[in-house]
Copies of this chain bind each other. A is one copy, B any other.
Amino acid sequence: MNLHNQAFKKSAQLTPLADKLGRSCSLSDDDVEAFLALPHHFMTVEAGGYLIREGESAAHCCGMLSGFVYRHRMTRRGARQILAVHLRGDMVELNATLDYADHSVQALTRIELVHFAMSDIQELIEDHPAIGRAFHRETMVDVSVAREWIVNLGRRNARERIAHLFCELALRQEAAGLCVSPNFNWHMTQEQIADATGLTSVHVNRTVQRMRADGLISGGRSAVTVTDWPGLQAAGDFTSAYLHQA
C-alpha cells in the first residue's frame, strides 16, 4: 500500500459522505454534526493500490472522497471476478464487523478517502441510532446491488451484461455529481469490464464494438458518450429500482 497520510483537516471535506448517508434516511443536524466530528484521517492511494487484501483484517472503514475502487475475489484457477465498484460518497466497509476481509479492495484510479476506526463508528451509532439506521441502509443497498449483479451474470447475455453495467455506472456517477448526462467515464479497461461481467476481454471488445455500431455509445477508451440512453437501458434490461437512489 502506497499511502500518503495527511494531517487532520476540517471536517467540511466529509460532507459528500454525510450527504449520501442522509439522502435516504433522515438525519438531524445533531446527527450530522456528530458524524462530521468523528475522528478520521485522510489518505491517498494511487491507481492499482490495495485498500485491503483478501484474508487481512482491519478494524476500520473508508469513506470515498474521489476516484474509484473495486472489490474482487480470485478463483482457484486465478480468474478474477469484480464484485462491486465504489465511488465518491460511498462508505467502503473493509471488513466491518466481520473477522477478516473475504475479498480485496483495489483502487481503479487515484483515490482520496478518509479512514474511520470501527470502534469510533460503533460508539457514534450508540449515541445516534439514526446514523446506525443510515449505515444499515447503505449495507442493504449494497446487498441489493450485489443481487442485481447475480441476475446480470446468471441470466443475461454479453450485450445485456455490459449495457447493464454501463447504465449502473452512469446513474451512480451522475447521482454523485461526477458527470453531466451524456458524457461519462467508466475508468475501466475492457479487461476489467470483462472481469465485472464474467466474460473475456476479447468478447467484451467485440460486443462493445457492436454497441458502438448500433449507436448506443460512442467515444473510445474509458471516456464515453452515451448516444442513446433509452436504447442502452433497453439493451441492458436496466431498471434503476435496485439502486434505491433518492
* Partner-B contacts on A (CB < 8 A): 25, 71, 73, 75-77, 79-81, 83-84, 93, 96-100, 102-103, 122, 125-126, 129, 132-133, 135-137, 139-144, 146-151, 153-156, 195, 197-198, 237, 241-242, 244
- Name A150's contact: one of B93, B129, B153 (CB within 8 Å): B153
State the number of copies, please: 2
Tell me if B150 and A149 are in contact (CB < 8 A). yes
Asked if B75 and A155 sit within 8 Å, CB to CB, the answer is: yes
For A81, list chain B residues within 8 Å (CB). 150-151, 154-155
Q: Please pick, from B97, B98, B143, the residue contacting A146 in the complex, using a CB distance under 8 A.
A: B143
A147-B198 contact, Cβ under 8 Å, with A97-B133, A139-B136, A139-B139:
no
Q: Can you name the residue of chain B whose Cβ is closest to the Cβ of A99?
A: B244
Q: How far is the CB of A152 from chain B (nearest CB, A)?
A: 9
Given A83-B147, A98-B244, 8 extra CB contacts under 8 A: A81-B150, A84-B147, A96-B136, A132-B132, A139-B139, A139-B143, A153-B153, A154-B197
Residue with the highest number of chain B CB atoms closer than 10 Å, among A122, A139, A146 = A146
Chain B: CB-nearest residue to A78: B155
Alpha-carbon gap, A123 to B126, bound state (A): 12
A76 vs B157: C-alpha distance when bound (angstroms): 12
By the criterion CB–CB under 8 Å, are B93 and A140 in contact?
Answer: yes
Given contacts A129-B125, A241-B102, contact A96 B140 (CB under 8 A): yes
The answer on a CB contact under 8 Å between A244 and B144 is no
Partner of A135, one of B136, B155, B198: B136
In the assembled complex, how far is the CB of residue A174 from the closest CB belonging to chain B, in whole angstroms?
A: 20
Q: A76-B237, A198-B155 are in contact. Are A140 and B141 (CB under 8 A)?
A: no
Q: A75-B237, A102-B241, A241-B102 are in contact. Are A97 and B147 (CB under 8 A)?
A: no
A50 to B195, CA, bound (A): 34
Q: How far is the CB of A224 from chain B (nearest CB, A)?
A: 22
